[in-house]
Amino acid sequence: MDQDQAPSIVDYEKYREERIKSNMERMRQLGLLNLSRHLNTTASASAFHQTPTKSKIPTDESKKKKKKNKNKKVEHLTPPLPSRRSSRLENMAHVNYTEARGKKSHEKSDHVVVIEELDGRGELYTEEHEKLLGSCEVPWTLFVDGYDKNKKRIYDSLKGKTCHQCRQKTMGYHTSCCKCQLVKGQFCGDCLYMRYGENVLEAIKKPDWICPVCRGICNCSLCRLKKGWKPTRTLYNKVVNLGYKSVAHYLIQTRQKPSNSNSDSEIKAAMSDSTEAAKEKEPELIISDEKLGDESSGIND
Protein backbone atom coordinates (compact mmCIF):
# COMPACT_ATOMS: atom_id res chain seq x y z
CA MET A 1 0.00 0.00 0.00
CA ASP A 2 2.86 2.42 0.80
CA GLN A 3 4.47 1.90 -2.60
CA ASP A 4 1.18 2.72 -4.40
CA GLN A 5 0.59 5.93 -2.42
CA ALA A 6 4.10 7.43 -2.81
CA PRO A 7 3.91 8.32 -6.56
CA SER A 8 0.40 9.82 -6.15
CA ILE A 9 1.64 12.33 -3.58
CA VAL A 10 4.51 13.41 -5.78
CA ASP A 11 2.18 13.89 -8.71
CA TYR A 12 -0.14 16.03 -6.58
CA GLU A 13 2.69 18.35 -5.49
CA LYS A 14 3.78 18.85 -9.08
CA TYR A 15 0.21 19.62 -10.12
CA ARG A 16 -0.13 22.13 -7.26
CA GLU A 17 3.06 23.99 -8.21
CA GLU A 18 1.92 24.27 -11.81
CA ARG A 19 -1.45 25.72 -10.74
CA ILE A 20 0.26 28.32 -8.55
CA LYS A 21 2.52 29.40 -11.39
CA SER A 22 -0.40 29.69 -13.82
CA ASN A 23 -2.43 31.76 -11.29
CA MET A 24 0.44 34.12 -10.64
CA GLU A 25 0.88 34.62 -14.37
CA ARG A 26 -2.80 35.49 -14.75
CA MET A 27 -2.62 38.00 -11.88
CA ARG A 28 0.44 39.61 -13.45
CA GLN A 29 -1.31 39.92 -16.79
CA LEU A 30 -4.45 41.44 -15.19
CA GLY A 31 -2.41 43.83 -12.98
CA LEU A 32 -3.81 42.43 -9.76
CA LEU A 33 -0.42 41.56 -8.36
CA ASN A 34 0.87 45.12 -8.51
CA LEU A 35 -2.41 46.43 -7.06
CA SER A 36 -2.25 44.18 -4.02
CA ARG A 37 1.38 45.14 -3.37
CA HIS A 38 0.47 48.85 -3.60
CA LEU A 39 -2.38 48.47 -1.08
CA ASN A 40 -0.16 46.65 1.37
CA THR A 41 2.53 49.37 1.25
CA THR A 42 0.05 52.25 1.77
CA ALA A 43 -1.61 50.50 4.73
CA SER A 44 1.71 49.88 6.47
CA ALA A 45 2.84 53.48 5.86
CA SER A 46 -0.35 54.97 7.39
CA ALA A 47 0.00 52.76 10.44
CA PHE A 48 3.60 53.86 10.86
CA HIS A 49 2.78 57.61 10.72
CA GLN A 50 -0.02 57.51 13.34
CA THR A 51 0.45 59.87 16.33
CA PRO A 52 1.43 57.95 19.44
CA THR A 53 -0.83 58.13 22.51
CA LYS A 54 0.15 60.56 25.24
CA SER A 55 1.74 59.04 28.28
CA LYS A 56 -0.30 59.27 31.47
CA ILE A 57 2.79 59.88 33.58
CA PRO A 58 2.58 63.45 34.92
CA THR A 59 5.49 65.69 34.03
CA ASP A 60 6.85 68.70 35.88
CA GLU A 61 5.12 71.11 33.50
CA SER A 62 1.75 69.48 33.95
CA LYS A 63 2.14 69.63 37.74
CA LYS A 64 2.95 73.36 37.58
CA LYS A 65 -0.13 74.01 35.41
CA LYS A 66 -2.38 72.20 37.90
CA LYS A 67 -1.05 74.30 40.78
CA LYS A 68 -1.69 77.51 38.83
CA ASN A 69 -5.27 76.44 38.05
CA LYS A 70 -5.94 75.72 41.71
CA ASN A 71 -4.73 79.14 42.78
CA LYS A 72 -6.88 80.91 40.21
CA LYS A 73 -10.34 82.05 41.35
CA VAL A 74 -13.10 80.59 39.23
CA GLU A 75 -15.50 83.30 38.10
CA HIS A 76 -19.09 82.11 37.59
CA LEU A 77 -20.29 84.02 34.60
CA THR A 78 -23.95 84.06 33.64
CA PRO A 79 -24.59 82.47 30.24
CA PRO A 80 -25.68 84.81 27.45
CA LEU A 81 -29.40 85.11 27.05
CA PRO A 82 -30.83 83.49 23.92
CA SER A 83 -32.28 85.72 21.25
CA ARG A 84 -36.05 85.82 20.98
CA ARG A 85 -37.50 84.25 17.86
CA SER A 86 -40.91 85.88 18.04
CA SER A 87 -41.10 89.38 16.55
CA ARG A 88 -43.80 90.20 19.07
CA LEU A 89 -41.35 89.73 21.98
CA GLU A 90 -38.29 91.38 20.48
CA ASN A 91 -38.76 94.72 22.25
CA MET A 92 -39.65 93.20 25.62
CA ALA A 93 -37.09 92.90 28.41
CA HIS A 94 -35.50 89.50 28.92
CA VAL A 95 -36.51 87.58 32.01
CA ASN A 96 -33.71 86.08 34.12
CA TYR A 97 -34.89 83.12 36.18
CA THR A 98 -31.65 82.56 38.08
CA GLU A 99 -31.99 82.81 41.85
CA ALA A 100 -29.99 85.39 43.76
CA ARG A 101 -28.82 83.52 46.82
CA GLY A 102 -27.91 85.60 49.81
CA LYS A 103 -25.05 84.95 52.17
CA LYS A 104 -25.78 82.87 55.25
CA SER A 105 -25.31 84.66 58.50
CA HIS A 106 -23.34 82.64 61.04
CA GLU A 107 -23.90 85.09 63.89
CA LYS A 108 -25.27 83.45 67.02
CA SER A 109 -28.31 85.17 68.46
CA ASP A 110 -28.72 85.67 72.20
CA HIS A 111 -31.07 83.13 73.78
CA VAL A 112 -33.36 85.77 75.29
CA VAL A 113 -37.09 85.20 75.35
CA VAL A 114 -38.57 87.70 72.91
CA ILE A 115 -42.06 87.30 71.51
CA GLU A 116 -41.81 87.85 67.77
CA GLU A 117 -44.32 90.22 66.23
CA LEU A 118 -46.98 88.19 64.47
CA ASP A 119 -48.56 89.20 61.20
CA GLY A 120 -51.12 91.51 62.80
CA ARG A 121 -53.24 92.42 59.80
CA GLY A 122 -56.35 93.51 61.68
CA GLU A 123 -55.57 91.33 64.71
CA LEU A 124 -57.09 93.56 67.37
CA TYR A 125 -59.23 92.54 70.35
CA THR A 126 -61.66 94.34 72.58
CA GLU A 127 -62.81 93.95 76.17
CA GLU A 128 -65.55 91.64 74.95
CA HIS A 129 -62.93 89.17 73.69
CA GLU A 130 -61.20 89.31 77.06
CA LYS A 131 -64.48 88.40 78.79
CA LEU A 132 -64.67 85.27 76.61
CA LEU A 133 -61.37 83.95 77.98
CA GLY A 134 -61.76 80.87 80.14
CA SER A 135 -60.17 79.94 83.43
CA CYS A 136 -59.77 76.93 85.67
CA GLU A 137 -60.03 76.30 89.40
CA VAL A 138 -57.66 73.32 89.40
CA PRO A 139 -54.50 73.41 87.22
CA TRP A 140 -54.23 70.69 84.56
CA THR A 141 -51.23 68.33 84.62
CA LEU A 142 -49.60 68.27 81.22
CA PHE A 143 -48.32 65.21 79.33
CA VAL A 144 -50.11 62.62 81.49
CA ASP A 145 -53.60 62.08 80.10
CA GLY A 146 -53.43 60.02 76.89
CA TYR A 147 -49.80 58.96 77.42
CA ASP A 148 -48.36 55.48 78.06
CA LYS A 149 -45.93 54.37 80.79
CA ASN A 150 -42.96 55.59 78.73
CA LYS A 151 -44.49 59.09 78.56
CA LYS A 152 -45.25 58.72 74.86
CA ARG A 153 -48.54 59.94 73.49
CA ILE A 154 -51.01 57.27 72.36
CA TYR A 155 -52.32 57.76 68.81
CA ASP A 156 -55.31 55.64 67.76
CA SER A 157 -57.09 56.20 64.44
CA LEU A 158 -60.08 54.06 65.49
CA LYS A 159 -60.72 54.67 69.18
CA GLY A 160 -59.11 58.09 69.45
CA LYS A 161 -60.85 61.45 69.09
CA THR A 162 -59.64 64.29 66.89
CA CYS A 163 -58.51 67.46 68.62
CA HIS A 164 -59.33 70.67 66.76
CA GLN A 165 -56.10 72.35 67.91
CA CYS A 166 -53.43 69.68 67.24
CA ARG A 167 -55.55 67.70 64.72
CA GLN A 168 -54.42 64.36 66.15
CA LYS A 169 -56.55 61.33 67.01
CA THR A 170 -55.47 60.62 70.56
CA MET A 171 -56.75 58.84 73.64
CA GLY A 172 -57.80 60.73 76.74
CA TYR A 173 -60.38 63.36 77.68
CA HIS A 174 -61.86 65.64 75.00
CA THR A 175 -64.35 68.47 75.24
CA SER A 176 -67.77 68.68 73.61
CA CYS A 177 -69.33 72.00 72.57
CA CYS A 178 -73.00 72.53 73.43
CA LYS A 179 -73.40 75.08 70.61
CA CYS A 180 -71.92 73.47 67.49
CA GLN A 181 -71.74 69.82 68.67
CA LEU A 182 -69.15 69.17 65.94
CA VAL A 183 -65.58 67.93 65.72
CA LYS A 184 -64.34 71.53 65.84
CA GLY A 185 -65.59 71.64 69.44
CA GLN A 186 -63.32 68.79 70.53
CA PHE A 187 -60.11 69.82 72.35
CA CYS A 188 -57.74 67.51 74.20
CA GLY A 189 -56.70 68.36 77.76
CA ASP A 190 -53.19 69.58 76.96
CA CYS A 191 -54.26 71.83 74.08
CA LEU A 192 -57.15 73.33 76.02
CA TYR A 193 -54.92 74.19 78.98
CA MET A 194 -51.87 75.48 77.09
CA ARG A 195 -53.73 77.43 74.43
CA TYR A 196 -56.76 78.70 76.42
CA GLY A 197 -55.99 78.18 80.15
CA GLU A 198 -58.93 75.85 80.83
CA ASN A 199 -59.21 72.43 82.50
CA VAL A 200 -60.78 69.77 80.29
CA LEU A 201 -62.41 67.98 83.27
CA GLU A 202 -64.14 71.19 84.37
CA ALA A 203 -65.28 71.86 80.79
CA ILE A 204 -66.79 68.37 80.49
CA LYS A 205 -68.81 68.90 83.69
CA LYS A 206 -70.32 72.16 82.35
CA PRO A 207 -73.35 71.41 80.12
CA ASP A 208 -73.31 74.94 78.68
CA TRP A 209 -69.60 74.95 77.77
CA ILE A 210 -68.86 76.63 74.40
CA CYS A 211 -65.70 75.86 72.41
CA PRO A 212 -63.15 78.58 71.53
CA VAL A 213 -64.14 78.33 67.86
CA CYS A 214 -67.74 79.34 68.58
CA ARG A 215 -66.50 82.03 70.99
CA GLY A 216 -64.35 83.49 68.19
CA ILE A 217 -61.04 83.25 70.09
CA CYS A 218 -59.58 80.08 68.54
CA ASN A 219 -55.85 80.46 67.85
CA CYS A 220 -55.20 77.24 65.89
CA SER A 221 -53.31 77.56 62.62
CA LEU A 222 -56.38 76.91 60.43
CA CYS A 223 -58.57 79.54 62.11
CA ARG A 224 -55.78 82.12 62.09
CA LEU A 225 -54.97 81.54 58.41
CA LYS A 226 -58.64 82.00 57.51
CA LYS A 227 -58.47 85.45 59.14
CA GLY A 228 -55.21 86.27 57.36
CA TRP A 229 -53.04 85.99 60.49
CA LYS A 230 -49.76 84.16 60.92
CA PRO A 231 -49.81 80.90 63.00
CA THR A 232 -48.39 81.24 66.50
CA ARG A 233 -46.54 77.88 66.45
CA THR A 234 -44.79 76.94 69.75
CA LEU A 235 -45.57 79.92 71.95
CA TYR A 236 -46.81 78.42 75.22
CA ASN A 237 -43.55 78.23 77.21
CA LYS A 238 -42.61 81.77 76.24
CA VAL A 239 -45.90 83.39 77.23
CA VAL A 240 -46.05 81.47 80.53
CA ASN A 241 -42.57 82.71 81.42
CA LEU A 242 -43.81 86.23 80.71
CA GLY A 243 -46.66 85.77 83.21
CA TYR A 244 -49.65 84.90 81.00
CA LYS A 245 -51.99 81.96 81.65
CA SER A 246 -52.13 80.73 78.04
CA VAL A 247 -51.52 81.69 74.44
CA ALA A 248 -55.05 83.08 74.10
CA HIS A 249 -54.54 85.30 77.18
CA TYR A 250 -51.32 86.68 75.71
CA LEU A 251 -52.81 87.41 72.27
CA ILE A 252 -55.96 89.12 73.54
CA GLN A 253 -54.37 91.07 76.41
CA THR A 254 -51.46 92.42 74.30
CA ARG A 255 -53.53 93.40 71.26
CA GLN A 256 -56.27 95.50 72.76
CA LYS A 257 -58.11 97.90 70.47
CA PRO A 258 -58.64 101.45 71.82
CA SER A 259 -62.23 101.77 73.01
CA ASN A 260 -62.89 105.48 72.22
CA SER A 261 -60.94 105.84 68.96
CA ASN A 262 -60.77 104.11 65.62
CA SER A 263 -57.83 105.93 64.02
CA ASP A 264 -55.03 103.81 62.59
CA SER A 265 -52.29 105.78 64.33
CA GLU A 266 -53.75 105.23 67.79
CA ILE A 267 -54.36 101.55 67.07
CA LYS A 268 -50.73 101.03 66.04
CA ALA A 269 -49.53 102.97 69.09
CA ALA A 270 -51.63 100.80 71.37
CA MET A 271 -50.28 97.61 69.80
CA SER A 272 -46.69 98.78 70.14
CA ASP A 273 -47.23 99.79 73.79
CA SER A 274 -48.77 96.40 74.58
CA THR A 275 -45.89 94.46 73.06
CA GLU A 276 -43.31 96.61 74.87
CA ALA A 277 -45.12 96.07 78.13
CA ALA A 278 -45.04 92.32 77.52
CA LYS A 279 -41.29 92.42 76.97
CA GLU A 280 -40.70 94.51 80.11
CA LYS A 281 -42.33 91.94 82.37
CA GLU A 282 -39.29 89.63 82.28
CA PRO A 283 -36.32 91.66 81.00
CA GLU A 284 -33.66 89.39 82.49
CA LEU A 285 -35.24 86.05 81.55
CA ILE A 286 -32.90 83.83 79.54
CA ILE A 287 -34.04 80.47 78.17
CA SER A 288 -32.51 78.30 75.47
CA ASP A 289 -34.58 78.22 72.27
CA GLU A 290 -33.80 74.52 71.83
CA LYS A 291 -35.80 73.65 74.96
CA LEU A 292 -38.87 75.66 74.01
CA GLY A 293 -41.81 74.01 72.31
CA ASP A 294 -40.35 70.49 72.11
CA GLU A 295 -42.16 69.22 75.22
CA SER A 296 -45.59 69.32 73.60
CA SER A 297 -44.74 66.31 71.35
CA GLY A 298 -47.16 66.94 68.51
CA ILE A 299 -49.35 69.57 70.21
CA ASN A 300 -47.47 72.45 68.56
CA ASP A 301 -49.63 74.66 66.42
Portion of the chain with pLDDT greater than 90, in percent: 43
Q: Is 267 left (phi over 0), alpha (psi -120 to 50) or beta?
A: alpha
- Please determine, for residue 258, whether its predicted confidence score (pLDDT) is greater than 90: no
What's residue 293's pLDDT?
40
Answer whether 0.85 is exceeded by the pTM.
Answer: no
What is the arithmetic mean of pLDDT over 225-241?
Answer: 92
Q: How many CA atoms lie within 13 A of 110 on its CB side?
A: 6
How far apart (Å, rounded) are the C-alpha atoms in residues 134 and 192? 10
Tell me: the pLDDT tens digits for 46-87? 665 555 555 556 666 776 677 666 665 555 555 555 665 566
Tell me: the pLDDT tens digits for 4-49? 555 577 888 888 899 998 988 888 888 887 787 778 777 776 665 5
* Alpha-carbon distances of 285 from 108, 277, 278, 279, rounded to whole Å: 18, 14, 12, 10
Confidence of residue 101 (pLDDT cuts 50, 70, 90): very low
Q: Which residues contact 202 (CB under 8 A, 6 or more apart)?
A: 136, 137, 138
- Most confident residue range from 98-107, 113-122, 287-296: 113-122
What's residue 14's pLDDT?
87
Q: Which of 181, 175, 252, 265 is nearest to 217 (CA)?
A: 252
- Please determine, for residue 239, whether its predicted confidence score (pLDDT) is greater than 90: yes
How far apart (Å, rounded) are the C-alpha atoms in residues 168 and 164? 8
Q: Which of 205, 206, 210 is nearest to 187 (CA)?
A: 210
How remote is the C-alpha of 172 from its chain's centroid? 33
How far apart (Å, rounded) are the C-alpha atoms in residues 146 and 154? 6
Which of 254 and 119 is assigned the larger pLDDT?
254
What's residue 112's pLDDT?
41
- Please determine, for residue 173, whether its predicted confidence score (pLDDT) is greater than 90: yes
* Alpha-carbon distances of 17 from 21, 24, 28, 168, 288, rounded to whole Å: 6, 11, 17, 102, 106
Which neighbouring-strand residues pair with 155? 170
- Please determine, for residue 236, whether its predicted confidence score (pLDDT) is greater than 60: yes
Q: Which residues contact 118 (CB under 8 A, 6 or more apart)?
A: 229, 230, 232
Q: What is the 3-state secondary structure (H, E, C) of 200-268?
A: HHHHHHCCCCCCHHHHCCCCCHHHHHHCCCCCCCCCHHHHHHCCCCCHHHHHHHHCECCCCCCCHHHHH
Q: How many CA atoms lie within 13 A of 15 on its CB side?
A: 6
Helical packing angle, 189-196 and 247-254, nearest 10°: 20
Q: Which of 28, 287, 4, 297 is nearest to 166 (CA)?
A: 297
Of the listed ranges 8-12, 46-50, 194-198, 275-279, the least confidently predicted one is: 275-279
For residue 222, report the phi and psi dihedrals to the nearest 5 degrees: -65, -45
Residues 186 and 163 sit within 8 Å (Cβ to Cβ): yes
Q: Is 155 helix (H, G, I), strand (E, B) or coil?
A: strand
